[in-house]
Amino acid sequence: MSFALSSAVPLRRLTTVFILCTATALSACGMGDVRRPQANVGHSSSPAESGDYIAVAPAADMTPVTPPAPDNSLADNSLAGEENRIANNEADQPVAQAQNLAAAQPVMTEENHALASREQNYGYAGGGLRDPMARSESRYTMPAGEIACRTQLKQLGVVFQERAPINDGGVCRIDNPLTVSGFASGQIRLKPSATLNCQMTLAFARWVKGDLQPSTRLRYLSGVNTIHQASSYSCRTMSNRPGANMSEHSKGNALDIAKITLNNGTDIKVQKPGFFAFRQRGLLNNVRSDACDYFTTVLGPGYDIFHRDHFHFDLMQRRNGHRACR
């Protein structure tokens, strides 16, 4: 009995030593305290601190982490800024295209401008007039004397219109012609309308106001209604005679008057009056003699056969300043 007990004690010790050696060997081989990898799910403590093993959940069961919602105001501002940038780019595109187009246009030389002017007009009736700023009757290119003359015409109530320059060759030209249709603000008509230069128009308007109107009121107790002209601008010689000098009509510097109609309906023809036509003779003699205060040349009935039926008025310039009143 005692032997058995004494034998059991060394056996237990051998068993204990064997177990300890086995545990030591296993520990040296890395087999001790094997633990599974752990997934971090937001716990505050680690598995080492809790002392528990944690099982990893399958991927299908994991709850996705939701990111924080973006600031809508910032998104709106960014979107608005992007829209403005796109709009600015779109607005800049036509400007860039226009600049590219302008750069591609050929330089307008004098030859190109002349070609373009032949291919188009500026919308005037008939297409005969080109750029209005290039016309010599434009107030911006008109001599100062012509502008001053037109101012005086307006003060006298002359009814007129500007015309394109006339150049029929030689002396047959008017650089700044007018079409005259009336006097005294239209109360006195000129039929048909006359084409004259401004200085001749001014001299005739002064004669109508200062001589013709007072004379008709004195002798006929009536004012002038219509003045009938027989010739204004005309590219011809004096009295249409072959080989003669060019007439002042070819410069728009002369006007022929054939008849005068008064407000009371009386027609006063410019011709040699009958023996008993006292008022007509007196009127024609007065306006004929006084007209030399306004014109340098006054010719009428009785001078020659070419002036038997009209008055001829002009502003011919002579070397010695002579006036021909016949």
d(CA 314, CA 234): 13
pLDDT in the model for residue 97: 57
- Looking at mean pLDDT, say which of 6-10, 32-36, 112-116, 265-269 comes out highest: 265-269
pLDDT in the model for residue 96: 52
Q: For the segment 306-319, what is each residue's pLDDT rounded down to a tens digit?
A: 999 999 999 999 88
- Residue 73 pLDDT > 50: no
Work out the percent of the chain whose per-residue pLDDT is above 90. 45
Average pLDDT, the chain: 74
Mean pLDDT of 268-293: 90
Torsion of CA 36, 42, 46, 52, to 10 degrees: -50
- Residue 146 pLDDT > 70: yes
pLDDT in the model for residue 89: 53
- Residue 125 pLDDT > 50: no
- Residue 54 pLDDT > 90: no
- Residue 301 pLDDT > 50: yes
pLDDT in the model for residue 7: 52
Domain assignment present for 140? yes
- Residue 131 pLDDT > 50: no
- Residue 244 pLDDT > 80: yes
Of residues 265 and 2, which shows the higher confidence score?
Answer: 265
Asked if 232 contacts 255 with a C-beta cutoff of 8 angstroms, the reply is yes
Q: What is the largest CA-CA distance in the chain?
A: 204
For helices 144-155 and 198-207, the axis angle rounded to 10 degrees is: 30
d(CA 246, CA 322): 19
Domain assignment present for 160? yes
φ/ψ of 38, rounded to 5, equals -110, 145
- Residue 4 pLDDT > 90: no
Of residues 296 and 95, which shows the higher confidence score?
Answer: 296
Of residues 223 and 76, which shows the higher confidence score?
Answer: 223
Question: What separation in angstroms does the CA of 78 have from each of 83, 84, 85, 278?
Answer: 9, 10, 10, 103
Domain assignment present for 233? yes
Of residues 127 and 192, which shows the higher confidence score?
Answer: 192
Residue 303 pLDDT class (50, 70, 90 cuts): confident
Mean pLDDT of 19-36: 55
- Residue 31 pLDDT > 90: no
Asked if 256 contacts 295 with a C-beta cutoff of 8 angstroms, the reply is no
- Looking at mean pLDDT, say which of 60-69, 132-141, 150-159 comes out highest: 150-159
Measuring CA to CA, which residue among 153, 152, 178 is closest to residue 164? Answer: 178
Q: Which two tokens stand for residue 220?
A: 């006929």
Domain count for the chain: 1
Domain assignment present for 205? yes
Domain assignment present for 25? no
pLDDT in the model for residue 48: 41
Domain assignment present for 125? no
Torsion of CA 225, 230, 235, 239, to 10 degrees: -140
Q: For the segment 150-173, what is each residue's pLDDT rounded down to a tens digit?
A: 999 999 999 999 999 999 999 999
- Residue 60 pLDDT > 50: no
Domain assignment present for 244? yes
Name the residue range of residue 284's domain: 134-325
d(CA 48, CA 120): 98
Domain assignment present for 124? no
Residue 9 pLDDT class (50, 70, 90 cuts): low
pLDDT in the model for residue 123: 33
Residue 304 pLDDT class (50, 70, 90 cuts): confident
